[in-house]
Structure formats: C-alpha cells, structure tokens
Amino acid sequence: MKSFFLLFFLCGFTFTQDLIEIRDKYKVPSLAAAFIKDGREFKEVVGLRSISHNILAANNDKWHFGSNGKSMTATLVAILVERGIVDWKKNLSNYLPHYQLHSDFKKLTLRELLAHRSGMTGEMKNYSNGKLREIYEDETKSPQIKRKLMAKLILSQRATNSKDTLAYSNFGYVTVAVILNEITGQSWEKLIQTYLFNPLGLKTCGFGAAGKSDHKSPIQPWPHYLYEKKVYSLPPNNKYSDNFPVLAPSGSIHCSLSDWMNYAQLHLDGLNQKDTKILKRRSFKYLHSDYKNQNYTSGGFIFEKRNGNIYLGHNGSNRLNYSLFVLDAENNSAFVAVTNIDGGRGDKAAKAAMKSIGSPDVCMKNGFCLLSE
C-alpha cells in the first residue's frame, strides 16, 4: 500500500478515466471519489447532476452520505461528553426521567445506542400495528416532536432484539438526538452545526437533499432511483428526495468531498492518538474501539483489526444515493466514494471506485465486507 501511494505522488496521480469507465459500466448518473494521504487531498467527479439535464457534476458539489452520518452524530456525543453535558455511562432513566421506560431500556447507555446494542427495533412498517410509521409520516409535526414521539413509543414497550448482539437500528440514533434535545433544549441540527460543522469549517454540510432552492435546473446532484430497469431523477424539493427529517441523526447529512475529507482528517488524527481542536485523544478511543467484540464501534463505524492495524468504515444509502467511507490508520489515509443513485447500481459503482483509488476493505466476522460485491 505504501508504494502504491508513493507512485501517486511521483506520477501526478489522476483517476478521472477510471471513474468514467466505472460510471459507464454501471450506468450511474454521476460518481465522485476522494482520498487523503498525510493531509494531501485527491478528488475527482464525473457525470451529470441529473440525467434529465445536461449539467455536469462539479468538484465542489454536495453529496448525500446516508448512514455515514452516524459517525457525525457519535462524534457530537463525544464532544458533549468532554464538555460535561452528557456522560457515556449514564443510563436512560437519568436522561429521560419523565418518559415511561420499559425495564428493558431503563439502564440503556449512549454507548449501547450508538453501537446498535440497544435492543431496539430495526423496522418501522409493522411496529406496534403501524404506529411508528404513522408518526414518521405525520407532516403536521416538527422533526423534534416526531423524534420524541417515536422514542416514547419504542422505549415504552419491550425490546424487540437482544442487547447481547448487534441489531442495527436507526432509531437508536434518533433516541440519542432526543436525549441531546432534552438535556440541552436544542435540536440535533443546531447542536451538530454548533459543535461539529462550525468548528471544523464544514460550510457545505447540511441536511437532506442538497439544492432544494432550484428544482428546475440542478445546482447540486439530484437523487435518482431505478424502476423497471429505467433510471429516473427526483428533484430535491420533492418530499421523497430523502428520508423524512425525523431520521436525520441516523443519516441525512450532505457535504462536499473536501468537507468530508476535512471531517475524515479529524478521525485520522484521533486514530493516530493526537489531540484535536474539538476532541481529545481519549475520546476517540470510545469512537474507534470495537464495542464488545462485535466489529462495530460506539462511533458509528464498522471495525476491523488486521495484522495489528485498525481499519474503520461504513456505507450509507437512502435508496437514492450511495456512499462508502474508509479510514486506514496504518497509511494515515481516508477514502470516500459517492454516487447519486443506489438500487444495485450505486453500490457497485462506489465499491469499484473505492478499489480504484486503493482503499482497503473493512470486513466483519459474519463475512460482510464493505467493498465486496
């Protein structure tokens, strides 16, 4: 791997042609990839913002990162822990004393919620005879109110999964947002802007589909979907252009490639045991350490330790976009690939793009690997 990167620097590396070939092979609207090595950034973007318009995607465009945003929510929690606002070890009965908590959830901690060891449901449609979905789809209430209603519903009933095993659930991250809102009086959106985006200078990062101000001519990559083998674009002002905002803490963040790489550098510094301007190195241990030998951390990362080296990564999708993100501590490198379609095309294109820029794979003990077909 090290000689691989050295060749990049000596040859003035560009991977535009690789991305063009991958985009053409998998027939995705646009494809973007970037990596950093020792603080130096490389990025390329190819394709169209929308197949309905002949407008090229650009290097400074904003991309939807889906569940990769979970690590941002976890990072926010770590920042607030350092400030004494919340605590890793306190349980829900301390944070939500006015909620009617089922005994299965009373001792639940922030670490368990972030590491998907909460026992929470991972599905929405049939939960409590469809009541969870009713709250989700209610457009008369704000995201903050709906998050509280969803948390109250889930936390008042028995756990649907065992806390002894990883059970992936977006609602764990929604519950984290509820806790932060109850403790600080501020929304998750306001908190992450104040404590993460602003201090790191992530000026392009926001929520939901980017470019909502113009639905006639794409000013940002539009999401796409596949229906009966045909690709359609979806204007970002359409209410179905992303998951409803109630789920934003679990994965509705968009950013430019450069801002995402700035965020990646924060975690690379933490992996290299450095203090940063917003987090001390001791906090990164909570975010980067395998939680209870499950190949997942309390930082919203899939974890693999291979030959003594730590690799972290995640994927993200709202079924209209797809992203991949990998951190390589050994080579002080981070990699990302994004595309504005999923549906069996975006994931394959992003995986191929990651391999083309030299990203290592990250695998779990159950056989799941981020970059495998």
pLDDT, tens digit, for every residue of 238-249? 999 999 999 999
| Per-residue confidence band for 14, with pLDDT thresholds at 50, 70 and 90 | low
SS3 label, residue 326? strand
The whole-number pLDDT of residue 258 equals: 98
Q: From residue 256, how far is each of 34, 70, 312, 321 by CA, in Å?
A: 10, 17, 21, 14
3-class DSSP string for 90-114: CEHHHHCCCCCCCCCCCCCEHHHHH
Q: How many whole angstroms separate alpha carbon 33 and alpha carbon 261?
A: 11
| Per-residue confidence band for 187, with pLDDT thresholds at 50, 70 and 90 | very high
pLDDT at 10 over 60: no
Query: Crossing angle of helices 281-288/257-271, nearest 10°?
Result: 100
pLDDT tens track for 301-317? 999 999 999 999 999 99
| Per-residue confidence band for 1, with pLDDT thresholds at 50, 70 and 90 | very low
Are 250 and 242 within 8 A, CB to CB?
no
| Per-residue confidence band for 16, with pLDDT thresholds at 50, 70 and 90 | confident
| Per-residue confidence band for 106, with pLDDT thresholds at 50, 70 and 90 | very high
| Tokens encoding 330 | 């050994």
What sign results for the dihedral spanned by CA atoms 216, 56, 336, 18?
A: positive
CATH of 71-192 among 1.10.10.60, 3.30.230.70, 3.40.710.10, 3.40.920.10:
3.40.710.10
Higher pLDDT, 351 or 216: 351
| Per-residue confidence band for 13, with pLDDT thresholds at 50, 70 and 90 | low
Q: How many whole angstroms separate alpha carbon 312 and alpha carbon 238?
A: 34
Q: Which residues, 6+ apart, have CB-to-CB distance to 266 below 8 Å?
A: 75, 200, 276, 278, 279
What is the mean predicted confidence (pLDDT) over 223-228?
Answer: 94
Mean pLDDT of the chain: 94
Q: How many whole angstroms separate alpha carbon 176 and alpha carbon 96?
A: 11
Largest CA distance in the chain: 62
Say which residue the tokens 């368990």 belong to: 112
Q: Which residues, 6+ apart, have CB-to-CB distance to 371 below 8 Å?
A: 324, 326, 351, 354, 355, 359, 361, 362
Q: Name the percent of the chain lying above pLDDT 90.
A: 92
pTM of this prediction?
Answer: 0.95
pLDDT at 2 over 80: no
Strands of 253-256's sheet in order across: 62-64, 253-256, 206-207
pLDDT at 9 over 50: no
pLDDT tens track for 57-75? 999 999 999 999 999 999 9
pLDDT tens track for 279-294? 999 999 999 999 999 9
CA–CA–CA angle 269, 271, 274 (5° rounding):
45
What sign results for the dihedral spanned by CA atoms 237, 242, 244, 246?
A: negative
Number of Cβ atoms within 10 Å of the Cβ of 273 = 11
Q: Name the percent of the chain lying above pLDDT 70.
A: 96
Q: Which residues, 6+ apart, have CB-to-CB distance to 85 below 8 Å?
A: 183, 184
Are 290 and 307 within 8 A, CB to CB?
no
Q: What is the domain partition of the chain in residue ranges?
A: 2-67+204-356, 71-192
Say which residue the tokens 């929690």 belong to: 77
- Strand runs (DSSP E) across 159-260, as ranges? 206-207, 224-227, 230-233, 253-256
pLDDT tens track for 252-276? 999 999 999 999 999 999 999 999 9
Instruction: Judge if 2-67+204-356 and 71-192 fold alike in CATH terms.
Output: yes
* CATH code for residues 2-67+204-356: 3.40.710.10
pLDDT tens track for 46-55? 999 999 998 9
